[in-house]
Each structure stands twice: as C-alpha cells, then as structure tokens.
Amino acid sequence: MTETRLRFPPSPTGYLHIGGARTALYNWLYAKKTGGKLILRIEDTDAERSTEESIKGIIEGMEWLGIDWDEGPYFQTDFDADHVASAQKLLKTQKAYKCFCTKEELDAKRQAAQANKTTYGYDGTCRNLSAEQIARKEAAQLPFVIRFKVPRRDEILSYDDKVLGQIKAAYSEIEDFVIVRSTGKPLYLLCNVVDDIRDRISHVIRGQDHMTNTLRQVLLYEALEAPVPVFAHMPLTLDLKKAKISKRSHGEIVAVQFYQKHGFIPWALSNFLVLLGWSSGDDTEIYSREEMIEAFSLERINKSNSIFNYRKGDAKFFTDPKAIAINEHYLRTMPIEEIADMVKPFLKEKNLWDSAYEGEKKEWFLQTLNLIRNRFHTLTDFATLGRAYFCDEFPVEAKPLKKNILKHEGLKEWLPMLAKRYEALDEFTLETVEQTARDLATELDIKPGIIINGMRTAVTGQLAGPSMFDILVIIGRERVVRRLSEVEKLYQ
Ligand code: GLU
C-alpha cells in the first residue's frame, strides 16, 4: 500500500478556530494511525484577507495542541505558476475553454431563467466556438474567463465519501464552471486540487461546508489525470440554535487561544474536539493520544452535525460543560510533575512564581498542587483560587466571611489562642494540629466545626477545599500562625 498523505490547509484569515483545530486533529490522527504524513499548507491566495498574524496564530495553536506536521508549512502563493500551468494544460487538452461572455449577457440569461422559474446554469455559448471565432475575439482582446468543459455524459458522476457514502450528481446538472478569472487568476477550487496533486494527498478530511466543491474537484482530478483522493467530509459544529459557531456571534470561545489563555490542558481540548464529531461507539470519552490514534477511524465520524453546547452569558460554564469536565479529568489525574510545568506560566503571570519551586521547595510545590487540584477546573485556578497557598495577600470570599467568621464574634479571641498553641507545638503535623484544634473546642465548649470553618476562612479565604488539617500542614506553621493571629482584621 502506498503511503497515506494528509493535509491541513487553513486559510490564514483569522485565529485558529476550534473547528479548524478539529479538522487538523482528524487529519493528524489518521496520518498517525496509518503511519502516513501530515502536510501543513497555508492557503494564502486571498491576499486581502490573509495576514502574517493569522499564520503565526495557526502555527502556535497547532504547536500548543501538539498537532505536529511532517511537511510544510507550504504556502499556496508560492505555487501560483503551477496553478496557471494546470489551467493552460486543461485549455491545451481541450478540457477547458475560453469564455468571452460578458457579465451583462450572463446576467440577462440568469434573469430570464428566474422569470421562467428554471434553474440557471451556464448554457455553453462559448463551449462550441470555432477556432476562427476564438481567434477573432482574441485579436479584439476581449476579456475572457476559462471554464472547465464538463464532459457531457449521460451518466452519473459520483465519489464514495468515507463518512457520507455515495455522493452523486448527473453530469448534466453540473455547469461548465469557471477555473480562471478574467484577471488571469486561477480560482481557489482549481488551486486546491493542483496543490493536493502536487503534495500527493491520498485522503482529504475536511468539513461538510466544502462539499459544494467536491464533485467539480473530482472532475478536475480526472481531467488532470491524477488519482482522486479519498474524501471524508466531517459534520459541522453548530451552536444550540443550530447556527455555525463563529467569532462574530460567540466571541473568543471559538478560538483555540482562548482555551490556552484560560488554562486548558492541550490534550484535554483535543480530546473534547475529537468527540465533537466522532465516537468509538461505546461510552468511552477519555482517550490518551495513543488510545485515540488506535480507536480513530474515518467510518465512525458522525454524519450529523455536532452541537457545541454553550450558552452565552452562562454564569456557571464559560464554555461547553463537557470541555470543562474533560479538562478537570486531566487536571486531576495527570502526573503532578506535568501539571507543575503547565501551572508555572499562570503563577508567573500573577507574580506568584518562586524559582525554588523547581529547587529546594519542589517537593512542597508538588504536594501543594496535588492537594488543591481536586476542586479546580482549569490551570488558571491555581493562580486565583489557589492564591492563599502561594502568597499572603489573598481575597476572602463574602459568603464564608459572613458565615464562618462574622457570625462568631468569639473567633476574634479563639483563633489567636489557637495560633499561640500552634506556635508552641513541638511538631506541626496532621495529628498535632487536629488534636490541638479539637482540644481547644472542647475546653471552650464549642463545636469543633466553628473553629475549623473559621480557620479555613482565615487561612484560605474560602468556603470549601481540601481537608483543613492537610491545608494547615501544607501552608506551614509560620503562615498559619500569622493568619490566625490576625483574624481581627477580617471584622473591620
Ligand atoms: N482553506 C480551506 C479552509 O480553510 C480548506 C479547504 C480544503 O480543506 O480543501 O477552509
């Protein structure tokens, strides 16, 4: 079997969209699965809309997601000459022809078709011009486009889509379509095929939004005497109102960079994106890279559109809840050393990073992350909800302040008393801190919960979290004593 060759050919006209990332992933998975190659080709022929910034964003987004490519990036504009040469070849072999019809003529025919309620298609006026007629028009330097000469066969044109099955149309339904504009610029439809032929692409996995091109592209492959690749068209990703997800209507959440900024683990986002349009057929949702490569197949790509379950302005979920749940899974189960590497930039950004976390405080750092990660949703939470573990200025949430501190005036004295006892302990361990706190509650004849909850709020600013005694030991005697002694400040 010949090598499978896949491509990801984004148009660099914006950020890397999660739909684009999903396309890249499917191609990457299939290349990996079949031991093939992935080619990155930037389709930058739209000079007005393509930007350097976008190219950079796409490449950085792919690198962040860990989607590596074997060849490229190639740039479509570097191959302009190829596109023109292919159009010339089609002209020469009489598989295409010059069309001199003016816009006015075509518009008039279109309107007439509308008036008669018939569907308009180019009527082939210039298809049968004699050599003499063509020569005369050329001599008069009349502008022309180049049209592809769709074979007029009494047959059905079809291809076997790996996802959707047989896709077909009668040859007679396909009009002679334009492949080169009157400016001499080849159309995207042709460039895309010429590049895929040159790059020896064996499989084209792309969104169903490109299907309008596919039958015509099949004709181009045949006319250029190149093998037609295998096509697999993926479902679209729609929002809850069944509209395409876009930056204009959904904002930043459709950009891969948004997830990077908000503390997603790259593979967690990939894992979520793969499920958005593919399923193994069982309930498995969590896949390692290797498991995903193993499980992936084109045949199991969904036929129907996938839903990106996001409600604008949702106070609870800032993106699809499933994406968050998958991220939580990885956050809570990945080796803690890997989490530490990923948390570092987020702590740095908030000035909470200490280089000793990679040196003498490494053990403490890893233990801390391990203790607090179970309630976190994203990597950013370590620098926000986890602030009290890394510095002394941390916010105290309103709810626990009221419930655990202000409601119990006595804590003003009790917590400093406890601080003194903690200071005097020989050893500051799980057992000693717990026993000391319980003994104090017994002596004062109050419920231990009052001391423990008050302590949680004074030491972490929060209502809930890991076991309080674990927290005390991790935060350390010095800081705990200081925070308990200064509880009075919370009443001001
Ligand atoms: N450049 C196209 C896009 O970004 C991809 C076309 C294709 O996959 O054939 O949508």
Q: What confidence category does residue 248 fall into, taking pLDDT thresholds of 50, 70 and 90?
A: confident
Q: Is the CB of 19 under 6 A from ligand 1?
A: no
204 CA from centroid of ligand 1 (Å): 10
Residue 8 CA to ligand 1 centre (angstroms): 8
Residues 312 and 404 reside in one and the same domain = no
> Can you tell me the distance from the alpha carbon of 344 to that of 138, in angstroms, rounded to the nearest whole number?
67
Mean per-residue pLDDT for 86-96? 98
Q: Are residues 385 and 402 in the same domain?
A: no
Top mutation candidate among 210, 218, 237 for ligand 1, by most atoms within 8 Å of CB: 210
Report if residue 381 sits inside a domain.
yes
Token pair 């699809």 is found at: 320
Which residue among 338, 356, 389 closes a domain?
Answer: 389
CATH number at 443 reads 1.10.10.350
CA of 10 to the centre of ligand 1 (A): 6
Check whether residue 403 and residue 371 sit in a common domain.
Answer: no
What are the tens digits of pLDDT across the range 34-79? 999 999 999 999 889 999 999 999 999 999 999 999 999 999 999 9
362: left (phi over 0), alpha (psi -120 to 50) or beta: alpha
* Residue 353 covered by a domain: yes
Integer Cα distance of 10 and 72 in angstroms: 12
Model pLDDT for residues 93-146, shown as the tens digit of each residue: 999 999 999 999 999 999 999 999 998 999 999 999 999 999 999 999 999 999
9 lines ligand 1 (CB under 6 A): yes
- Same domain, yes or no: 263 and 349: yes
CA dist 47 and 34 (Å) reads: 35
* Nearest Cα residue to 345 out of 255, 252, 460, 266: 266
Q: Which long-range contacts (CB under 8 A, 24 or more apart) does 359-366 make?
A: 364/474, 365/340, 366/336, 366/337, 366/340
Active site residue: 109, 185, 247, 322, which one?
A: 247
Give pTM, 2 decimals: 0.94
What spacing in Å lies between the alpha carbon of 191 and ligand 1's midpoint?
A: 11
Render pLDDT for 257-273 as a digit per residue (tens, 0 to 9): 999 999 999 999 999 99
Q: 204 - beta bridge partners?
A: 231
Whether 135 maps to a domain, the answer reads no
Nearest atom within ligand 1 for CA of residue 43 = 1
With respect to residue 359, please indicate whether it lies within any of the assigned structural domains. Answer: yes
43 in contact with ligand 1, CB cutoff 6 A:
yes
For residue 332, tell me if it sits in a domain.
yes
Same structural domain, 434 and 477: yes
Counting the structural domains of the chain, the total is 2
Closest-lying ligand 1 atom to the alpha carbon of residue 7: 8
Ligand 1 center–CA 9 separation, angstroms: 5
Q: Is 303 a catalytic residue?
A: no
User: Ligand 1 pocket test: which of 55, 206, 231 has the largest number of ligand atoms within 8 Å of its C-beta?
Assistant: 206
What are the DSSP E strand ranges found in 213-354? Answer: 230-234, 237-238, 306-307
The answer on 460 and 340 residing in a single domain is no
Shared domain for 255 and 292, answered yes or no, is: yes
* DSSP state letters, 282-309: SS-----HHHHHHH--GGGB-SSPEE--
Does residue 425 sit in the same domain as residue 476?
yes
Q: Rounded CA gap, 262 and 448, in Å?
A: 38
Q: Would the CB of 32 count as within 6 Å of ligand 1?
A: no
Indicate whether residue 14 lines ligand 1 (CB < 6 A). no
Compute the distance from residue 201 Cα to the ligand 1 centre, in Å: 14
- Looking at 365, 389, 413, the residue that finishes a domain is 389
Residue of the nearest CA to atom 4 in ligand 1?
Answer: 10
Q: Is 379 left (phi over 0), alpha (psi -120 to 50) or beta?
A: alpha
237 lines ligand 1 (CB under 6 A): no
Percent of the chain with pLDDT over 90: 94
What backbone phi and psi angles, to 5 degrees, belong to 158? -150, 165
Which one of 389, 420, 445 terminates a domain?
389
Which position has the higher pLDDT, 365 or 281? 365
Question: Does 337 map to a domain?
Answer: yes
Taken as a whole, the chain contains a residue count of 492
Q: Please check whether residue 194 lies inside any domain of the structure.
A: no
Examine the domain organization and report whether 328 and 452 are in the same domain: no
Ligand 1 geometric centre to CA of 345 (Å): 33
Could you tell me if 452 and 437 are in contact, meaning their C-beta atoms sit under 8 angstroms apart?
yes
One domain, residues 437 and 369: no
Is the distance from the beta carbon of residue 247 to the nearest atom of ligand 1 less than 6 Å?
A: no
Indicate the average pLDDT of the chain: 96
CATH of the domain at 335: 1.10.1160.10
What number does the ligand 1 atom closest to the CA of 207 have? 8
Check the CA dihedral 127-133-138-144 and report its sign.
Answer: negative
Helices 336-349, 362-372: inter-axial angle, 10-degree rounding? 90
1 pLDDT band (50/70/90 cuts)? Answer: low
Q: 422 lies in which domain range?
A: 398-491
- Beta carbon of 233 within 6 Å of any ligand 1 atom: no
Atom of ligand 1 nearest to the CA of 23: 8
Pocket residue to mutate for ligand 1, from 5, 6, 8, 11, most atoms within 8 A of Cβ: 11
User: Is the CB–ligand 1 distance for residue 196 below 6 Å?
Assistant: no
Average pLDDT over residues 466-490: 97
8 Å CB contact between 9 and 41 = yes
> Is the CB of residue 12 below 6 angstroms from any atom belonging to ligand 1?
no
CA dihedral 277, 283, 286, 290 (to 10 degrees): -80
pLDDT band at 2 (very low <50, low <70, confident <90, very high): confident
Q: Are residues 428 and 337 in the same domain?
A: no
User: Is residue 55 situated within a structural domain?
Assistant: no
pLDDT at residue 247 tops 90: no
Instruction: With cut-offs at 50, 70 and 90, classify the pLDDT of residue 246.
Output: confident
Compute the average pLDDT of residues 175-196: 97
Q: Does the structure show a pLDDT above 90 at 365? A: yes
pLDDT, tens digit, 9 for 90 and up, residues 413-428: 999 999 999 999 999 9
Tens digit of pLDDT for each residue in 304-321?
Answer: 999 999 888 888 899 999
Shared domain check, 382 and 262: yes
**How many angstroms does the Cα of residue 206 sit away from the middle of ligand 1?**
7
